[in-house]
Structure 1
């Protein structure tokens, strides 16, 4: 007769990797009605998070403002196929002097959002 065999699955985390990277080891064992093991099959599925997060919107437009009207950095959100919920991203500002300018109140702020 034909035996229906359900695989036994074991998850093994990959050392040094994030929780979305792991091995899924499947094992099928055929045992007859008398308890004889006739065959064992194994499969290793390597699961790796290879898709980065995607921002839910776009960054604010580039602007030129007076020194007392610099807008605050807006918090943006992103989603990820392997992360539940929403990823909140706070910008990091880098201030750079504009070459050739003699005024200390003339500068450029590069605002960067990185979703990880």
Structure 2
């Protein structure tokens, strides 16, 4: 299935690439202001991003159809200024069709065995 992914040009991590993972497998990197059409493997369940040790919210892919758009939105300048050392999640969010459909945060998931 092909979907469109776009990342805004927010101040937070503006000059850094964000790794995007589908079902915990790194598929591609996206820069601020970039948009692309990507192929999602059949039966994919989730997508999330990583940058260094920080991770962002999981977005369920179960109800996403071919051609739909996923937006990656960063915080405002003032919200980005609140980021502190020791944080475990990125202040960047994955959204679908203007509403956030977060399933969980990776830092809150139990380790797989």
Determine which structure has the larger helix proportion and give its number.
2
State the TM-score bracket (shorter-chain normalisation).
under 0.3
Determine which structure has the larger strand proportion and give its number.
1
State which structure, 1 or 2, has the greater radius of gyration over its C-alpha atoms: 1
Q: How high is the TM-score relative to the length of structure 2?
A: 0.26
Q: Could you say which structure has the greater relative contact order, defined with CA pairs below 8 angstroms and 6 or more residues apart?
A: 2
